[in-house]
Structure 1
Amino acid sequence: MTANSYLEYFLVLFGWVMNNALWGILSNTGLFALPLVFKVLGVWLKVREEGADEGNKGLLALPRIEHAIYVSYLVILFCCIPLLPVDISTIKFDSARAKQCGISVPTPQNSGYKGLVNDFGGRTAEVPVWWYLLHMMSKGTTQAMIASIPCGTQLRQMRFDVQNTKLRDPVLLQEVQDFANQCYSRAYFRLKNSNSQLSDATINSVGWIGSDYFLNTSDYYDDYTSMTPRRQWPYDDSRDSGYADTGQGGYPTCKTWWSDSSVGLRKRVLASFSDSTRKEMQRQFPGSQWEEPALRWLVSPRNAGLSGGGTTYAVGSADNTTGVVGNLTRLTSAIGLGMKQAEALPGFDALKQALPMIQALLQMMIIIVIPILMMFSAYEPKTIVTISFALFALQFITFWWELAGWLDDRLITILYGSMSEQGISNSSVPFAGFFSSTADGWIMNLVLGMMYVVFPGFWVGMLGWVGVRIGSMASQLSDGAKMPMDAGAEAGKKAQGTAIDGVKGALK
């Protein structure tokens, strides 16, 4: 038995432990046999209602009772009685897709779910034969379909990780604000006053405090220095002449302050990213290309405000929410364009993270209530078919999410890749604008919501309808045999009524 997520890895076993406990209660109290009693009583009453021309009622009732008991016994044997043992060590976390796409995924024992896994302490559960086979078949089919999808880049997931990284160190956050005030704002002011017109490349480059233009062009970051002492750099008489030696450090140039290989602000800000986020970004952007799009968001005014920085800088930043772009954004929110898209967009990334958890919880719920459902249905085979279709549909949803993720990557590549090629993004690095964006166009996000929510919902609805129809075939067959009998009886009644009316007419 395999699992596709850490939470499912734990909840599948927990569900079967609770399933075993529920079946134990039903079997120990004898309640499991109550539907059999009612089924036998129902057959007996039905035989009594039949006419005398049906023959010996005892011989007629016996095979029907045997048939009902034998079918129920087989259902109990294969679908209710736990037979195949399974524990946390025999459930396998399926990492085939991660290996196929070159992604490093830790095992559940080495993840944050280690505490949940260890809570079982070697406790085992037992699974009925049919559900064990159904689990293997469903997971095998799902994984085979997922393996046929080309590997995606998970761009939206990377943006989710980047945008959820905050500058938690208040000292570092204050230093970012100091750098923006003492270096970036001064350099930007000089740029505007010394040039009559700027090229597109320059405009795109100077939109953030770590601008390559300010770093590599003379008379900007190499000329300006920190206006307050910095402990990371000792006081230098030749460089810091004119500044007081307070004993709290020197006054490095803005270029050194940002780019120093050992204690530079750039290196210390990058350290805020987790190892997993860093590895994913390096996998997508070889070398150091990933650093600029990640840093653009981390030192942006919006993220500084989210990190608790209070009043943030906004001079020359493309992230500024004032001006024409900010007014349009507020207008869009005010009139509710695109079905309140401005309010819905931040939830898409969170929705993508929550859906597999909901899937695992629903799977656990179905597993737990299987004994109750089987008992209340009097162990009817059509109940097995309906539950089997429900479990298969629920597990196959993973394929639809993988497909949706791959299609989403293609849409993002088309949108932001073309922006970089046309020079209208914030950087020459591909997808740089994507990591600082929170709105990708309302049409694109409506399509994304449909792929992650409507696709699985429509799939479950279709398969559920098919399961109910197939599960009802047995009752439909019996109804098909009953229809000629009812039709014959109805025709006899009509013929009898016609004959009586004819006799009455002749007498008159």
Structure 2
Amino acid sequence: MQLDSYLEIFTTMYGWAFANIIGEVITGTGLVIIPFAIIIFQSWREAKEQGLESSGVLALLERAMTRLILALFVMSVCFATTPITSLHHTNLAYMPPATPLAPSPVQGSRDGGTGSGFDSAMHDSVDGSMSGTGNLSYVPAWWYSVMAISSGVNNAVRNGLNNSGNSIRMVEDLARTATIEDPKVLNSVQRFYSECFIPARSRYLTLTAGDISPTGQTILDPTNKPYGPTDVDWMGSQLFRTEPGFYAHMRSYNPVPGFAVDFTRDTDYYNPSSGLPPPNPGVINPAWGRPTCKEWWEDSTQGVREQMISHSSTWQQLLNVGASAMTWGSNDQRKDSFARLAQAKANPSFVDQDRISGSDYDVATSIGRIAGGALSTIGVGSAAAVAGVAFTPLITALPMMQALVLMGIYMFLPLVVFLSGFDLKAMFYGAVAIFTVKLWAAMWFIAQWVDARLIDSMYPGGQGNILLQELTHLASGSTPQGYKRMILNILLLTLFIGLPLIWTAMMGWIGLHVGGQLTDIARQTEGHAKNSASASTSIATKGKVR
């Protein structure tokens, strides 16, 4: 039997374990005979109220027999348990959906293990050690059939859709939660920001349009979507990397670990092979060289960009998922887009050369900068908090909620059936409840499918650089979310919460309608029994008179 989450495997076992304990209490204390006693008492009372008219008494007896037969039927299929329909005879399993992070998921099951923390935390639901009652996995035949049919319909609906999901939501969620915590990476980002980006941007602001080459003007053209005028607002600016006089001709202020000394570049270092005497006796070159800002940024192993986008497994996953979920003009654009997001997460600030050299600010200035940074962090955090709906927690929490709701339904079914007096309607209402909640998973699957199509329609082609720029702005709090993002998030909530609510409301109406029909059928059966009894009495009376 395929379920919808790892948790549901164990909550199903728990739910029926609790149900069997409650059922054992009802039968062990003799309470189970109360509904039958009430049926007999009501029939006796009605017979006494109608008097001793023979036709009325026989009709009431037939009606009582009909009620008792229906109650016994409901009790046998909805309350009584048998080893034949034990959950231990069924392989409860869950197959996670394939994702870019796990393209070949492994099915988890109750018997084979799920590979999650539930295996050890909830092992007593499988081995029955949670209670000494015994027979905790038994399920009444009717509810067992309803569970099997519901699971089958649920899986059939989901298998009927191809390519149900879209990884763009996963990229968005990973981008929102990704952080840079490595102090070495943060130090590299801070240094590059202060030693390369700020000087380059300051130089750019002093130039006129005529001072920029035609290639540079093309980069800054407002119609150039991959770059445009905002290209100069971040450290990996394409203009600064390609325009003469910027990164290619600017060097780090201090030596950078990982970059070897290059005497053709590091002309301020003493070159022993030059044949010239050292400028000062005993001069010793630094252990590392001072790369150009272009080298410092673009190097495939020690570059700042490479450190930012691959320093942790989270960022590597983000880079890989983004590569498969979105389209990119080039690999360089892809790396730049994620590096720009990483800069927003690092949130570097300018540190002047005096501070780099060890000359600290005075106390008042330091306090002012700390307070300003704290306020900035709070602002960015509040903006990021309202930027959108977290996709992965949503689709993870909803199936877990479904599993707990189903556990509650299973647990209370024996009590509900008993308190209803083994009524036929309780049998149907319980089936509708299980079927409805089971198909919530299909509704969420459809919601993911529709959400993916909405994203494709609002971002034609899935252009990664445009999407990542928007996510970067949201992460940094520089701009509020746009109309597209607001619409998508509202629609996401509507789909994931609204569809199950609509489905549940419709099934509730159907349940009440069919429940009323079952009542009418029971009344018609009693009516036929009454008519039969009246006819029999009439024939018997006529025969006696003759």
Specify the TM-score bucket, using the shorter chain as the normaliser. Answer: 0.7 to 0.9
| 1:482 to 1:9, Cα distance in 2 relative to 1, 3 A | closer
Match of residue 433 from structure 2? 390
1:152-301 residue pairs with structure 2 within 5 A?
Answer: 152-196=165-209, 198-200=220-222, 201=224, 202-203=228-229, 205-242=231-268, 249-271=288-310, 272-274=312-314, 277=318, 279-285=320-326, 288=331, 291-300=335-344
Deviations 1:197-223, CA, capped at 9 Å, x for gaps: 631334354443233443344433332
Once the two structures are TM-superposed, the CA of residue 478 in structure 1 deviates from its matched residue by: 5.5
TM-score under structure 1 normalisation? 0.75
Match of residue 504 from structure 2? 460
Amino acid at match of 2:74: V
Whether contact under 8 Å (2:74, 2:424) holds in the other structure is yes
| 1:173 to 1:145, Cα distance in 2 relative to 1, 3 A | same
| 1:264 to 1:11, Cα distance in 2 relative to 1, 3 A | farther
Match of residue 141 from structure 1? 153
Amino acid at match of 2:148: M
Once the two structures are TM-superposed, the CA of residue 279 in structure 1 deviates from its matched residue by: 4.7
Amino acid at match of 1:79: C
Once the two structures are TM-superposed, the CA of residue 283 in structure 1 deviates from its matched residue by: 3.0
Once the two structures are TM-superposed, the CA of residue 238 in structure 1 deviates from its matched residue by: 4.6
Amino acid at match of 2:388: P
Take 2:286 and 2:207, find their aligned partners in 1: how far apart are those partners?
36
Instruction: Flag structure 2 segments of 5+ consecutive residues without an equivalent.
Output: 109-113, 129-135, 210-216, 270-282, 352-378, 475-480, 528-546
Take 2:471 and 2:326, find their aligned partners in 1: how far apart are those partners?
13
1:6-155 residue pairs with structure 2 within 5 A?
Answer: 6-55=6-55, 57=57, 59-83=58-82, 84-87=85-88, 90-95=91-96, 98=98, 103-108=103-108, 109-111=114-116, 113-116=118-121, 118=123, 120=125, 122-123=127-128, 125-151=137-163, 152-155=165-168
Deviations 1:185-244, CA, capped at 9 Å, x for gaps: 223333343351631334354443233443344433332233233333345555445489
Q: Tell me: higher relative CO, structure 1 or 2? Use CA pairs within 8 A at least 6 residues apart.
A: 2
Once the two structures are TM-superposed, the CA of residue 159 in structure 1 deviates from its matched residue by: 0.7
Whether contact under 8 Å (2:100, 2:167) holds in the other structure is no
Where 1:52 maps in the other structure, the secondary structure is coil
Amino acid at match of 1:130: W
Matched, 1:358 2:433: no
Take 1:312 and 1:166, find their aligned partners in 2: how far apart are those partners?
20
| 1:29 to 1:353, Cα distance in 2 relative to 1, 3 A | same
Whether contact under 8 Å (2:171, 2:321) holds in the other structure is yes
Once the two structures are TM-superposed, the CA of residue 472 in structure 1 deviates from its matched residue by: 2.3
Once the two structures are TM-superposed, the CA of residue 42 in structure 1 deviates from its matched residue by: 2.2
Question: Which is further off, 44-53 or 116-125?
Answer: 116-125
Take 2:321 and 2:100, find their aligned partners in 1: how far apart are those partners?
15
Whether contact under 8 Å (2:77, 2:142) holds in the other structure is yes
Once the two structures are TM-superposed, the CA of residue 361 in structure 1 deviates from its matched residue by: 1.6
Match of residue 467 from structure 2? 431
Once the two structures are TM-superposed, the CA of residue 343 in structure 1 deviates from its matched residue by: 7.7
Whether contact under 8 Å (1:43, 1:65) holds in the other structure is yes
1:322-333 residue pairs with structure 2 within 5 A?
Answer: none
Question: Which is further off, 282-291 or 68-77?
Answer: 282-291
Take 2:116 and 2:67, find their aligned partners in 1: how far apart are those partners?
49
Match of residue 346 from structure 2? 304
Take 1:136 and 1:146, find their aligned partners in 2: how far apart are those partners?
16
Q: CA RMSD in A?
A: 3.7
Larger radius of gyration: 2
Once the two structures are TM-superposed, the CA of residue 377 in structure 1 deviates from its matched residue by: 1.0
Match of residue 447 from structure 1? 491
Once the two structures are TM-superposed, the CA of residue 106 in structure 1 deviates from its matched residue by: 4.1
Whether contact under 8 Å (2:66, 2:526) holds in the other structure is no
Question: Which is further off, 247-256 or 360-369?
Answer: 247-256
Whether contact under 8 Å (2:175, 2:318) holds in the other structure is yes
Take 1:210 and 1:113, find their aligned partners in 2: how far apart are those partners?
45
Whether contact under 8 Å (2:341, 2:472) holds in the other structure is yes
TM-score under structure 2 normalisation? 0.70
Whether contact under 8 Å (2:101, 2:321) holds in the other structure is no
| 1:440 to 1:63, Cα distance in 2 relative to 1, 3 A | farther
Where 2:138 maps in the other structure, the secondary structure is strand
Identical amino acids, percent of aligned pairs: 25
Corresponding residue to 1:413 among 440, 451, 456: 456
| 1:170 to 1:66, Cα distance in 2 relative to 1, 3 A | farther
Take 2:302 and 2:116, find their aligned partners in 1: how far apart are those partners?
31
Where 1:98 maps in the other structure, the secondary structure is coil
